[in-house]
Each structure stands twice: as C-alpha cells, then as structure tokens.
Structure 1
C-alpha cells in the first residue's frame, strides 16, 4: 500500500511519495535509499505496488534518450513502457494470463513538463486534471488536490495530498519525499 502523487504546475511536474511498506499484517517504514520515487535517465518515476518491480525498474532498466522532436506521450508509450516490460520479463516479474501481460505495480512517470500513469497492464494514461495519484491513498490525495487549488506553492500541495492520505489510510506513512526533476528532493520528518 502506498501513495504516489504528481502535480503539474508552473511548467514543472512535482512528484511525491510515502515510505510505507505493508503486507497482510504489518507496516514498515522504508529508508530513503529504498524510496519509491527516483530519477532515472530523463524520467522521475514513482512506483506503487511490488517492491521487486520497483527495484528492477530502478536498477536494471536502461532507458533511451528522447529526441527533442519526439512527442512525450509517444516516447513513453513506444520506448519507456517497452523498456520496462522487456526488463521485467527478463527478470521474471511479468505475469501472463490468457496471453495478457501485467505487472504487480502502477507507475507515475514525470517526463518534461507532463506526467503519465502506467497501469498494471502497461497502458499509458493521462489525467484531464493537473494532478494524479496512485496507490491505496490515491482517492484521498485526489480530494486534497481538488480542495487545495488556491494554494500557490506546488510542493505544499503535494505534501498536503500525502498528509491527507496518511491521515485516513493505514497503508500510507511518512516520511514523504517530494521532488521535481533535476532538483534536490525534500524529505519530511516521519509522522
């Protein structure tokens, strides 16, 4: 269980994530070195779901560079998702059911000035809102983003959405990591 959020504002994408790791009966707070949010190549990636999938994407997947003339959505669909899918297959982390491939994760990926959600069947989704959330705390984060539109500080809005999820979802916990591509991460104190 987790909460990963993205907010598009002022020409940047801010991504935030929690530090909870859960199974059926326990909750653990992960260290920053195991963060669910990280930069890789030209991407800022947040992962909800299987820690193994996140580890393979973070440490074993090689992404190509995107030519400036190529549309970001096209690049994510045709290059990034295919790299992820192929690497996960090579490491035995893709499930196949009736010929349909899937992974035990959802991803939020920031690229250039947009964000993209990759669902468990490798479909690429784009929100019609300037924000998105994945994981067990997603609906609570959506409510926070909806009601915080008057807040001008994007990092504050991301933090508010994660705090709302943690307040009402047992599988979401700080410390929270908030990052925009190419900028230092902010890590909050554990609650």
Structure 2
C-alpha cells in the first residue's frame, strides 16, 4: 500500500512518496523512504519494500544513451533488462505461468517520468504527471486539479489527497527532484 506521485516541470522531475508499510490491517510508518535518487535517476516504488531495497542498493542502471530520442528505447530494453536481472539475482522476481513479474514503480530521468509496471512494460503519460499505488487515483485527480501550484507543492497536495482517501497511505511525505 503506497502512493508515489510525480510531476514533470521545466525539464525537471519531482517525485514524492508516503511512508506507510501495510500488511493486512497492520500499519507501520517506515523510516526508510520509498523515493530516492540513484545517479541521474529518481525512483519511487510501490509493491514491496524488498523490491525498493534492491532497486536502491543492488541495481546499477546502464549508462544513459547519448543519442537524442533514444531514451524511450533505452528504458524499454536496457533499463528494464537491468532491473529484471537485479530483482532475479536478489531473489525478488517472481514467475507466473512462465511470465516474469516484478513490481510497480516510477522513474524520473532527463526530464521524463516513466511508469514501470509489474509485467515490465514502460509507460510515459502525456499529462506530464503520474501516480502509482493504492492512492494513485486520488493523487492523479489532485495533480490534474492543482496545475496552478509549483511542482513540489503539487506533489505534496497529491500525496495529502491520497492519504485522505486511502487507508494505505500515510505521511510523512518525502519529495525528491532532479
């Protein structure tokens, strides 16, 4: 249970996350954060703290492409292959009906915000914002409605909306940008 919300503004990405760790009816406000930077990448995860720990501490993204227009292909092929390898190596990836499954997370890089789904598909919203986790619908609505706010304030408002309308989202909230 989580909410990760991100906005692209003026060539930068702003990514925020909550602090809830939820298992059934139990809630722990975690000290370890769901959003972080690793090199030029901002990452915000849902699905599993273990997956987030692997992405933060054991994942080495391949070098970014230098060729203009190559970022989309890089994310779909090179980046995802490296994520799959790290998750598999650290015992977190799953296999169901011969299909590999990971988790869901947002990635900000080079002024773009990507969503990586559990089946490793990569998406980039035309809206310039996105959210994942159990509070994502409330967060996306708030991001849409708060276009007049500065980017970090927009992300924080989205997280507050998710906290208000989802039992699985709790502050404190952390926002990173790059």
Partner of 2:157: 160
TM-score (norm 2): 0.96
Does residue 1:91 correspond to 2:90, yes or no?
Answer: yes
Rounded Cα–Cα distance in structure 1 between residues aligned with 2:18 and 2:78: 28
8 Å contact from structure 2 (residues 76, 122) kept in 1: yes
Partner of 1:132: 130
> Which consecutive unaligned segments of at least 5 residues does structure 1 have?
182-191
Does residue 1:175 correspond to 2:172, yes or no?
Answer: yes
Partner of 2:59: 61
Rounded Cα–Cα distance in structure 1 between residues aligned with 2:61 and 2:77: 11
SS at match of 1:69: coil
8 Å contact from structure 1 (residues 47, 107) kept in 2: yes
Please list the CA deviations of residues 72-110 of structure 1 after superposition, one character each: whole Å capped at 9, or x if unmatched.
21221121111110111112211111211001x201000
Rounded Cα–Cα distance in structure 1 between residues aligned with 2:26 and 2:132: 21
Partner of 2:5: 5
Rounded Cα–Cα distance in structure 1 between residues aligned with 2:92 and 2:99: 14
CA RMSD of aligned residues (A): 1.1
Distance apart, 1:21 and its partner CA: 0.5
Rounded Cα–Cα distance in structure 1 between residues aligned with 2:177 and 2:127: 18
8 Å contact from structure 1 (residues 9, 154) kept in 2: yes
Partner of 1:122: 120
8 Å contact from structure 2 (residues 14, 176) kept in 1: yes
TM-score (norm 1): 0.89
Rounded Cα–Cα distance in structure 2 between residues aligned with 1:143 and 1:169: 13
Aligned residues: 177
Please list the CA deviations of residues 14-69 of structure 1 after superposition, one character each: whole Å capped at 9, or x if unmatched.
111001110002111111xx111111122100000111111111111111221321
Partner of 1:188: none
Runs of 4+ in structure 1 deviating by more than 4 angstroms, as ranges, are none
